[in-house]
Amino acid sequence: MNNRLVVVGYGMVGHCLLTALDASGVLRDWQVTVLAEEDVPAYDRIHLSRYLQETEPAGLLLGEPGFRDRAGIRTRLGDPVVAVDRRGRRVTTAAGHVVGYDVLVLATGSRSFVPPVPGADATGCFAHRTVEDVRAIRAHCAGAGVGAVIGGGLLGLEAANSLRGLGLTPHVVEFSPWLMPRQLDEHGGWTLRRHIEDLGIAVHTGTSLTGIDTDEHHRATAVRLQAPDGAPPTRVDVDAVVFAAGVRPRDELARSCGLAVGERGGIVVDETCRTEDERVYAIGDCALTVDGRVHGLLAPGNAMARVVADRLAGGTETFTGVDTATRLKLLDVDVACFGDAPGVAPGGYEASHLDTRAGVYRKLRVSAEGRLLGGLFVGDTSGYAALRPLAGSGRPLPASVEELVVPGPLPGRSAAVGALPDEAVVCHCHHVPAGTVRSAVRNGCADLASVGCRTRAGTGCGSCTEAVASLLGEGLTATTGIDATAIPVTGSPV
With a cut of 70, say whether residue 416 has pLDDT above it: no
Q: What angle do CA 126, 130, 134 make, to 5 degrees?
A: 55
Helix axes 131-140 and 154-165, enclosed angle (nearest 10): 40
With a cut of 80, say whether residue 424 has pLDDT above it: no
How sure is the predictor about 181, in pLDDT bands with cuts at 50, 70 and 90? Answer: very high
Q: What are phi and psi of 250, to 5 degrees?
A: -85, 85
| Per-residue pLDDT tens digits for 222-252 | 999 998 777 889 999 999 999 999 899 999 9
Q: Does residue 148 contact residue 170 with C-beta atoms inside 8 Å? A: yes
Q: Does residue 468 contact residue 425 with C-beta atoms inside 8 Å? A: no
Q: What is the CA radius of gyration of the chain?
A: 23
Q: Which amino acid is at 494?
A: V
With a cut of 70, say whether residue 483 has pLDDT above it: no
Per-residue pLDDT at 481 = 62
Percentage of residues in the chain having pLDDT higher than 70 = 92
Nearest to 147, CA basis, from 52, 138, 53? 138
With a cut of 80, say whether residue 470 has pLDDT above it: no
Task: Give 262: exposed, middle or buried? Use CB within 10 Å, 0-12, 13-18, 19+.
Answer: middle
| Per-residue pLDDT tens digits for 359-368 | 999 999 999 8
Per-residue pLDDT at 426 = 78
| Per-residue pLDDT tens digits for 309-353 | 999 999 999 998 777 788 887 778 999 999 888 877 788 889 999
Q: What is the mean pLDDT of the chain?
A: 88
Mean per-residue pLDDT for 429-452? 82
Q: What angle do CA 120, 125, 129 make, to 5 degrees?
A: 110
With a cut of 90, say whether residue 445 has pLDDT above it: no
With a cut of 50, say whether residue 440 has pLDDT above it: yes
Domains (range + CATH), the chain: 3-110+248-312 (3.50.50.60), 125-245 (3.50.50.60), 326-486 (3.30.390.30)
Instruction: Identify the residue with better confidence: 264 or 456.
Output: 264
Prediction pTM value: 0.85
